[in-house]
Amino acid sequence: MEEQSEVARQIHRLAVMTDQQRYEEASLVFADDAFLARPGEEIRTRAAILRSLLARPVERLTRHVIGSCLVERTERGVASTTYVMVFRKLGETAGRAVSVPLPYRPPETVAEYRDDWVQEGGQWRILRRVVQPVFDAGA
């Protein structure tokens, strides 16, 4: 399944671009009319997703560690389920990036990404992403 490796590459690309605060590039993994649902928030369209990413404070450091990833053909196209651990640290000085290395602490959350994919502009892009926390430090 040729799309499996391309979709997996896009999943990793989105994680790395987000962690590097390269939000314009990260947003390009989403389709123009994408839908993103995460706890307490639903965002529609790539432009709105980009606005949400750009609103993040520069002093917020994240690392998304991608684990298992299953890509399958469905009746509607291609879908994936990805397990991710998210490490997050908010720096103490507004507007200043966090210096590394930091002391280790467990991930803030372990979640599932449930994605539906579409071909757009010759690329596989996320049409719909639902983020489902499984283990959460705040729970």
Per-residue pLDDT 10s for the chain (139 aa) are: 688 999 999 999 999 999 999 999 999 999 999 999 999 999 999 999 999 999 999 999 999 999 999 999 998 889 999 999 999 998 888 788 888 899 999 999 999 999 999 999 999 999 999 999 999 987 6
How big is the CA angle at 37 (ends 18 and 67), to the nearest 5 degrees? 50
| Domains of the chain, first to last | 2-136 (3.10.450.50)
Quick one: 111 exposed, middle or buried, by C-beta within 10 A (0-12, 13-18, 19+)?
buried
Residue 95's pLDDT is 81
Are the C-beta atoms of residues 8 and 77 closer than 8 Å to each other? Answer: no
- The model carries a pTM of 0.94
Give the residue from 6, 1, 5 showing the smallest Cα distance to 119: 6
Token pair recorded at residue 55 = 């609103």
